[in-house]
Amino acid sequence: MEKKDVIIIGAGLSGLACAHFLRRDRPELSVLVVEKSDHAGGVIRSHAEQGYLCEWGPHGFLDNKEESREILADLHLMDEVQRAPLQDFHRYLCRHGRLIALPQKPQELVTSKLLSTWDKLRLLGDLWRKPLAGHPTIGQWAAYRFGKGVLPLIDAAVTGTFSGDFNRLSMDAVMPGVRRLEMEHGSLLKGLKKKAKGKKDKTLVFLPAMINFGQGLERLVQSMAVGHDIETECVVHGLEKSGDGWQLATSSGTMIANHIICALPMNSALPLLAPFGPPVQKVPESYICNVSLGFADNGAIPKGFGYLAPECENRFVMGCMFTSRMFPGRAPQGKVLLEALVGGRRHPERLELADAEIVRRVVADLKDLLDLPAEPEFVKVLRPKSGIPQMEEDHLDLLAWRAKLEQRNPGLSLCGFGWDGIGINDMTQSAKSAVAAINQAGRVEQRPEVKPVYF
Ligand SMILES: Cc1cc2nc3c(=O)[nH]c(=O)nc-3n(C[C@H](O)[C@H](O)[C@H](O)COP(=O)(O)OP(=O)(O)OC[C@H]3O[C@@H](n4cnc5c(N)ncnc54)[C@H](O)[C@@H]3O)c2cc1C
């Protein structure tokens, strides 16, 4: 049995990003990636049919994260990237049964119809309110600092990222950087102003772009997988210390390594880690289905990313992307591709419906908001098997537990879907720090950053 320097468990984006940074920064190490399924890439999968190109999982990511940009540059993918800059494409919020464009710049909020005059004035209440003690949910925190009028906007932002429930997601877990600014400056607005003043980080000043590829997002993980030693159809079901290294029990037999990076979604990692700590329950997840619809292009779809609908609007569709407006080439000439999302943390019961019923209700909902042609010419219901881990009440305890686990067990690093965030950019950042933990024998504590929120 050959002992590897590093074994990475999971060949999703996280595992592939770890393998990428290791090959680049520590080419002398022998690295093996083990993967349960028959292919690398995890939840990132594209689907091409009848000239339409849809996505099972992620629909793109923002080009404002250094670690992701490094991967694109290292793999010479920059030229292939399709960009939809936020400043050129509107995003819409469904409010009182119609679509309203979201302000592209903070100053546009003053004239926006999204908030009443009182709600706009109330935003400034943040300047005088003390930092909110305890561990509020995102909803509680936003209502306290900015007033209840802002909640539909916050709800929509959370729906667009977590497909989650802002009355359950933990503010401290999801936005630690924002909480830090609040604590340090007594107000988020004051903190942001100070931060923007002597600023090298321009992410709050310049809007980023949403990116994808002409062949779909699968192109990214396919490129990342090239040249690595990946053993597919190999399930890891046990992890234990062995001498000065680690031993894995897998469906292909026992494997040993000096270091293990467990790059799995939280609910796949926790059972493997159970022998190392207190019993940890499953993390809540949110499941969605993606209803892809192709219509004749009658000009009804604006040049925009799409829209989001907060729960108070009581709609069947959580949000819908105007995919072929963002990324041309995703629909045949003269057609448009829309991708509507259904389900989420609040409505898992909707996923119990048959495809035909989901499509019927999605089409009816969209037609109520958009002047679409009678019937779609293309319909595809994609039901991703993976859920999106939700960073709710106990998430900070889990992170503290992970930190202790890594400290007590040198040579073991954890990253992957749900630990340090849920987006592609969170995964690449977390993967880089897991790899750095191997290099430096321990995770380097980083100051929580302020992640700008884009709808
Ligand atoms: C429906 C959906 C929509 C999303 N939309 C967006 C978006 O628009 N933008 C964005 O930035 N992010 C989005 N995300 C999040 C993004 O897809 C994830 O951040 C990222 O793909 C997670 O990668 P991962 O490698 O951590 O996990 P995964 O992709 O789940 O990969 C984990 C891998 O580990 C393997 N595995 C599991 N258990 C074992 C085991 N015991 N042994 C061996 N292998 C195992 C699995 O087979 C899998 O291949 C979305 C996610 C979902 C599900």
- State the pLDDT at residue 26: 92
Q: Could you tell me the pLDDT band of residue 374, with boundaries at 50, 70 and 90?
A: confident
For ligand 1, is residue 10 a contact (CB within 6 Å)? yes
Ligand 1 pocket residue status of 220, Cβ below 6 Å: no
pLDDT at 206: 65
- With cut-offs at 50, 70 and 90, classify the pLDDT of residue 27: very high
**Would you say the CB of residue 58 lies under 6 angstroms from ligand 1?**
yes
Mean pLDDT, the chain, integer: 92
The stretch 341-353 carries a mean pLDDT of 98
Taking CA atoms only, the protein residue closest to ligand 1 atom 15 is 423
The DSSP bridge partners found for residue 296 are 335
Q: Which atom of ligand 1 is nearest to the CA of 250?
A: 42
In this prediction the pTM is 0.94
Q: What angle do CA 345, 349, 355 make, to 5 degrees?
A: 110
CB-ligand 1 contact for 414 (6 Å cutoff)? no
Residue 71 has pLDDT above 70, yes or no: yes
What integer pLDDT is reported at residue 443 of this predicted model?
Answer: 61
Name which of 7, 2, 37 is nearest 258 in CA terms: 7
Distance CA 441, CA 424 (A): 25
Q: What is the pLDDT of residue 245?
A: 93
Report CA(222)–ligand 1 centroid distance (Å): 14
Q: Whose CA is nearest to atom 25 of ligand 1?
A: 12
Task: Pick the residue whose CA is nearest to atom 4 on ligand 1.
Answer: 58
Is ligand 1 within 6 A of the CB of residue 12?
yes
Strands 3-9 and 253-263, how do they pair? Answer: parallel
34 lines ligand 1 (CB under 6 A): yes
Residue whose CB lies within 8 A of the most ligand 1 atoms, among 264, 289, 391, 451, for a mutation test: 264
Say if residues 167 and 154 touch (Cβ distance below 8 Å): no
> Do 104 and 111 contact (CB within 8 A), yes or no?
no
Measured CA to CA, the distance from residue 447 to residue 230 in angstroms comes to 34
Those residues whose C-beta lies under 8 Å from the C-beta of residue 322, and which sit 6 or more positions away, are 301, 302, 303, 304, 305, 306, 336, 338
**Ligand 1 pocket, residue 232 CB under 6 Å:** no
3-state secondary structure the chain: CCEEEEEEECCCHHHHHHHHHHHHHCCCCCEEEECCCCCCCCCCCEEEECCEEEECCCCCEECCCHHHHHHHHHCCCHHHEEEEECCCCEEEEEECCEEEECCCCHHHHHCCCCCCHHHHHHHHHHHCCCCCCCCCEHHHHHHHHHCHHHHHHHHHHHHHHHCCCCCCCEHHHHCHHHHHHHHHHCCHHHHHHHHHHCCCCHHHCCCCEEEEECCCCHHHHHHHHCCCCEECCCCEEEEEEECCEEEEEECCEEEEEEEEEEECCHHHHHHHHHHHCCCCCCCCEECEEEEEEEEECCCCCCCEEEEECCHHHCCCCCEEECHHHHCCCCCCCCEEEEEEEEECCCCHHHHHCCHHHHHHHHHHHHHHHCCCCCCCCEEEEECCCCCEECCCCCHHHHHHHHHHHHHHCCCEEEECCCCCCCCHHHHHHHHHHHHHHHHHCCCCCCCCCCCCCCC
- Ligand 1 binding pocket includes 306 (Cβ within 6 Å): no
Residue 170: the pLDDT is: 97
DSSP for 438-455 reads HHHTSPPP-PPP-PPP--
CA of 417 to the centre of ligand 1 (A): 6
Q: Is residue 111's pLDDT more than 90?
A: no
Full set of structural domains in the chain with CATH: 3-43+217-284+390-440 (3.50.50.60), 46-65+76-87+286-389 (3.90.660.20), 106-206 (1.10.3110.10)
**pLDDT of residue 201 exceeding 70:** no
Q: Judge whether 154 and 137 are in contact, CB under 8 Å.
A: no
**How many CB atoms lie under 10 A from the CB of residue 292?**
26
| CA 336 to ligand 1 centroid distance, Å | 28
pLDDT at residue 167 in the model: 97
> Residue 289: how many CA atoms within 13 Å on its side-chain side?
23
pLDDT of res. 107: 76
**pLDDT computed for residue 131 by the predictor:** 94
In this predicted structure, the answer to whether residue 203 has a pLDDT above a threshold of 90 is: no
Task: Quote the ligand 1 centre to 58 CA distance (angstroms).
Answer: 9
Structure confidence at residue 108 as a pLDDT band (50, 70, 90): confident
Residue 445: pLDDT band with limits 50, 70, 90: low
Distance 418 CA to ligand 1 centre (A): 9
Per residue in 259-300, pLDDT tens?
A: 999 999 999 999 999 988 776 789 999 999 999 999 999 998
| Gap between the terminal Cα atoms of the chain | 50
φ, ψ dihedrals at 391, nearest 5°: -90, 80
